[in-house]
Chain A
Amino acid sequence: MENLLQQLVNGIAWGSIYALVALGYTMVYGVLRLINFAHGEVYMVGAMTGFYAAHALGVADRPSALGLAATLLAAMATCAALGATIERVAYRPLRRAPRLAPLITAIGVSLLLQNAGQLVLGADPKFFPPLVASREAWRVGSLAVSNIQLTVMATAVVLMAGLELVVMRTRVGRAMRAVAQDADAAALMGVPVDRIIQLTFVLGSALAGAAGIQVGLSNPKIDPLMGLMPGLKAFVAAVLGGIGSIPGAMVGGLLLGVVETLVAGYLSSTYRDAIAFVILIAILLYRPTGLFGSAQAEKV
């Protein structure tokens, strides 16, 4: 029983990283009907920015809440700027193109960032500085929750709550939802569609940047290709939750993290990566709208 609880804690901490990345996929899909395959690389850039920022700010060797916050902000800001740039350069010119064109461009941007990362930062793995001193925050019997896991989960909850607030309670959020429903109609109502789309990229990318910091804290090996697998997994999480649905991405991410952990803990870790794609196939076959998505008629 304690074992199962421990695995659930492990899974939720791991899944909250997927959830933050999945949010970016789902938000962009919501406004553009585009799968932004470069999103995993934004997450990589977040982790890399955190690595360099922590060293530049001199907080790498001295764990402190302030150092963590500064590093987190640096990563989120850099990723936000990157997201805005990607949107402006790679997707906006293709706004009226067939849907396949931006999809291929997305894969191109992804490859560009992976290879530029290897060229500029080197292909060797880097080791994220311990910004949070690893300690047991909590212990009941043999159930141990480290303060790293606690930090990861707490950041995820705060950021998701913040996102929910922005999307549901602000004018900008309302505009986003309007664009997601019908971009043309929103434009007629005076919503600056291009700016709202860019803002969606900014928000989604900032969350991916935060996820990059989280993974740096809990699994401190980072390299230019680190975004590939988590990017695909987060995409699966978004589809699982129902692509386009924000609560869906959160739940999908957590669920995927828990499932992966249980598979690795009770079956075999060799199936850990396979299970995500089994889920993807099953969802697409039996419930293409995901857990929280709603079917919508194709506009003609």
Chain B
Amino acid sequence: MVRTARRAGGIAVAAVALLACGSGHSGGTAKDAIRVGHFASLTGDTATFGRSADRGIRMAVEELNAAGGVLGRPIEVITEDDRSVTEEARSAAQKLIQRDQVVALLGEVASSRSLAAAPEAQRAGVPMISPASTNPRVTEVGDHVFRTCFIDPFQGAVMARFAHDDLRAKRVAVLFDFKQDYSVGLAEFFRKTFEQLGGEIVADERYTSGDIEFRAQLTTIRSAAPDAIFVPGYYTEVGLIAKQARELGITVPLLGGDGWDSEKTLEIGGPAVEGDYFSTHYAADSDDPRVQDFVKRYQAKNGGVPDAMAALGYDAARILADSLARAGKTDGPALRDAIASTKDFAGVTGRITIDPQRNAVKDAVVLKIDGGRFRYHRTVSAQ
């Protein structure tokens, strides 16, 4: 009995060794590279989030490597696709941690997927930086989970104030994605602030990621005669919602959050999203020289205007590299402490200081959809 168990153990060790060799070969990695994992939605309903973030990260890493890398070693990014599926984000993170032995994880954009993966990073003691997940619960998972963006209590308040002060809306309807922690949370913080300001939520409707038919909810919203509709969803559904709203004769502006920040919002929504507003992390048409420089380099490399996910991916990768340099080594605890002590880092999306809750405190911008493109409308300070 004992002998069988030992033999089985031997076989398992051999198998693991073989597997390890196999993955080493297929990855084609340079031996001394520092491996960083990126789990992202390269395909599926929110594919532009993952692709943009990955482009931003890879651009940052290329620039860093061209300048000699970090700790005298190049950085290698290994990207794992989660196909925009919450459950797959977890296994993608596991693969990167166990198979590729990455020193840190970057990702995800969607909060539900960051929340699914974060416990894996925390358990393995691998620091994780989400470039763009804004739901507050993401970094509450544990002391190894960070983000380089603001959180939704702030973002929700920004749009509630915007609706109340700028649009002078008294009655607002909310239509949110019941399946996404991001959307549920953002809707909640919006409602809270808007009601505190004396406004009224006149309709509160929900949909589910992947839905294509929204006319039933929109008809209910229309009968409540709102001054604006807050749709804190992701771009695919947002585009379809805008179209169907206009078809039903709803003309009031739609408002959204950074989940709108994709060129696909314009492609799907077309004329239906004209005149709508959303909050996000940076404006590509800002006259800040740092932003303009970034936009120019990104366009030269990838073509197209970088959206907020690309800019945040770029910042997240550079903060990770900066932390690696300050830690002086790649082991988990040292790197974790270095990321936590990030202060006044000059990013494309603003000055980034990681607070004790491992969030970045940053300004938000409101963009307006005007003439088939996103235009800078105003900045809302975090203070």
Contacts and interface: CB of A to CB of B under 8 A. Distances in A.
Interface string A262-274: 1111101110110
A10 B246 CA distance: 14
Interface string B47-68: 1000000000000000000000
Contacts of B247: 134, 136, 144, 146, 148-149
A142 B224 CA distance: 12
A14 B256 CA distance: 27
B249 A268 contact: no
Interface in A1-31: 2-3, 6-7, 10-11, 14
A96 interface: no
Interface string B36-55: 00000001110100000000
B282 to A, nearest CB: 25
B116 to A, nearest CB: 19
Task: Classify chain A: how many residues form its interface, as a range.
Answer: 35 or more
Contacts of A184: none
A268 B206 contact: yes
B164 to A, nearest CB: 26
Contacts of A293: none
A146 to B, nearest CB: 4
B236 A3 contact: no
A11 B216 CA distance: 8
Interface stretch (A104-112, A156-164, A173-181, A213-221): A213-221
Residue from A7, A123, A124, A261 whose CB has the most chain B CB atoms within 10 Å? A124
B308 to A, nearest CB: 20
Nearest to A17: B213
Contacts of B244: 219
Interface in B193-225: 205-208, 211-213, 215-217, 219-220, 222-223
Given A134-B247, A142-B249, A264-B213, 7 more contacts: A7-B216, A10-B216, A144-B247, A221-B268, A265-B217, A269-B207, A269-B216
In the A-B complex, the 3 residue pairs with the closest CB atoms: A264-B216, A219-B212, A265-B216
13 contacts: A3-B220, A7-B216, A122-B43, A123-B43, A123-B83, A124-B47, A125-B45, A127-B239, A134-B246, A136-B247, A265-B216, A269-B205, A273-B208
Interface of B: 43-45, 47, 83, 178, 205-208, 211-213, 215-217, 219-220, 222-223, 236, 239-240, 243-244, 246-249, 267-268, 270
